[in-house]
Amino acid sequence: MVTPLREKTVSPASVRPDPEPLSGIQCLRDPLRNKGTAFTRDERARLDIDGLLPPRVETLEEQAARALENVRVKTGPLEKYRYLSALQAENETLFYRVVLDRLEEMLPIIYTPTVGEACVEWSRLYERPRGLYISAQHRGRIAGLLGRWPRRRAGIIVVTDGGRILGLGDLGANGMGIPIGKLALYTACAGVPPELCLPVTLDVGTDNASLRGDRFYLGERQARMTGNAYDALLEEFVTATQAVFPGVIVQFEDFNNACAFRLLQRYRDRLCCFNDDVQGTGAMGLAGLYAAGRITGRGLPAQRILFVGAGEACLGIGASVVAAMQREGLSEVEARERCLFIDSRGLVVASRSDLAEHKRPFAQDRSALPDLPAAVEDFRPTVLIGACGQGGVFTQPVIEAMARLNERPVVFALSNPTSKAECTAGQAYAWSSGRAVFASGSPFGPVTLAGCTRAPAQGNNSWIFPGVGLGLLLSGARHVTDEMFQAAARTLAAQVSQADLDQGRIFPVAARMREVAAAVAAAVAGIAYEQGHATKPQPRNLHAEATGAMYTPRYA
């Protein structure tokens, strides 16, 4: 028998005493308990809320049908986002029912690309609190703030400092849309119970002058903290997470790269934490390359990969690729030679004196080149991966050159939101005469070219991190290792069917998110047991355990 995740994932120390039973009004206001019109007549009488709801008692399915209609009549994505946010704040069961019933339709609304728009407008759209906002004024009392979280447990914290929100730059406290959205994906895609999810924004100020000058901006109107003050705030926060919710997983999200690599290095051996932008993207990209190889017939060690961008995403994929190539027989030097990076200042080469520490291991011993087209001609890549946040950098000549050099050029335009994509799906196919093997960070619809329709896949971290988190919870892992992400990548790639590939899709369809997450979770938990990082007794069948532990939106 499978033990419910919520009973076993958190050590006893992190479970706070049962709160007082809620009054009827409190139940109506608590999104985890509210059933709205689905409260039965008996429940209405017992809770003393008779008359506070319309007379008809509805089923969850009836409520979901109405909510779906309401989403669909909203005119634009942001309006749909606002409606769904309000629904989530009122009744989480109903929210997740609607999302799960129409995953493919809802994911682009509750997450990228719409979440980017929502973050830009966050302070203007703001209606009600969700998550914890922690700023410099809370120094010395962060544990107290975390203790104020009105749930008894926390299993996963997603935290941002708003430093690099998607490809939109520094959005300060407006970045809160990201932890909220990512945690919604944990529940929707991997069935992590919503009551275990805690979104946090560390408001360390913002260097975005227009935000600071915006009369509606809700964050601290100060320059972004740096140096010791920043590090001390992070240290206090991380320490407090473990004191208040021992063993809680901490996912670092959308920190700028000056902080992301440093924080990961500092904390990865201390607690169960990971950086999704680096490690999650790394695994997603690697999985995409494995699947693309099944179309091109070229194995991973034979690929030559040109990365446009040398930040968290590209370096994360680069590190995963190098480790995977080594696993397949190349030396580290040989593997690194097959990965070339370009950043905003040009080719990442050893002669550059301006390279940040985290880029150095990837610097190649070769001459600088003037631009991307020159790099394509010189390096002759089989794969072009963009994650530079610069919309349109994969121009027609660049894609045409890739198509000249390769029978099936592999092109990943990973930047989010859609406006930042390095090229669109339509452009990749048109400029390669339909031969590109394409994936993108934000979704693109099917493209028909010369009578042939291709349905490109979304290469998004949401294929990885929800399953990773579930696997960590299942095993009670103390640490997150690179081998876990490598296993997640292989597992995700194995989930791509021949039918997917035949339609030009190198990731599965969104409707299979939970199935994939269960497989990823089992693989990650398996590594946790193998490497001795697990703290929970090992179940006989990890896959069944992962599936059985998933939250299903239904009323108790």
Annotated catalytic, 111? yes
Annotated catalytic, 182? yes
Which of 80, 96, 133, 182 is an active site residue? 182
- Minimum CB separation of residue 389 from ligand NAD in Å reads 4
- Minimum CB separation of residue 264 from ligand NAD in Å reads 12
- Minimum CB separation of residue 297 from ligand NAD in Å reads 25
Distances from the Cα of 432 to the Cα of 394, 428, 458, angstroms: 12, 6, 19
With a CB cutoff of 8 Å and minimum separation 6, the contacts of 272 are 247, 248, 249, 250, 472, 477, 478, 479, 480
Report the residue count for the chain: 556
Nearer to ligand NAD, 10 or 347 (CB): 347
Nearer to ligand NAD, 6 or 182 (CB): 182
Report the Cα 12 to chain-centroid distance in Å.
28
Measured from the Cβ of residue 542, the count of other Cβ atoms closer than 10 Å reads: 22
Cis peptide leading into 417, omega within 30 of 0? yes
For strands 346-347 and 383-386, give the pairing. Answer: unpaired
Q: Tokens representing 331?
A: 């030396």
Nearer to ligand NAD, 63 or 418 (CB): 418
Contact predicate 219/205, CB 8 Å: yes
| Chain contacts with ligand NAD (rule: CB under 6 A) | 164, 166-167, 257, 277, 281, 284, 308-314, 342-344, 387-390, 393, 414-416, 420, 441, 459-461
Measured from the Cβ of residue 73, the count of other Cβ atoms closer than 10 Å reads: 10
Scan for tokens 């990865």, then name that residue. Answer: 268
- The three-class DSSP label of residue 53 is coil
Contact predicate 63/93, CB 8 Å: no
Nearer to ligand NAD, 97 or 336 (CB): 336
Which of 111, 186, 230, 551 is an active site residue? 111
d(C-alpha 69, C-alpha 332), whole Å:
54
- Minimum CB separation of residue 409 from ligand NAD in Å reads 18
Cis peptide leading into 113, omega within 30 of 0? yes
Helix (H) or strand (E) run with residue 218 in it: none
- Minimum CB separation of residue 119 from ligand NAD in Å reads 11
- Minimum CB separation of residue 169 from ligand NAD in Å reads 8
- Minimum CB separation of residue 99 from ligand NAD in Å reads 19
Nearer to ligand NAD, 381 or 441 (CB): 441
Buried b (16+ CB within 10 A) or exposed e, 126-142: eeeebbbbbbbebeeeb
Q: Tokens representing 36?
A: 């709205």
Nearer to ligand NAD, 195 or 343 (CB): 343
Residues identified as active-site: 111, 182
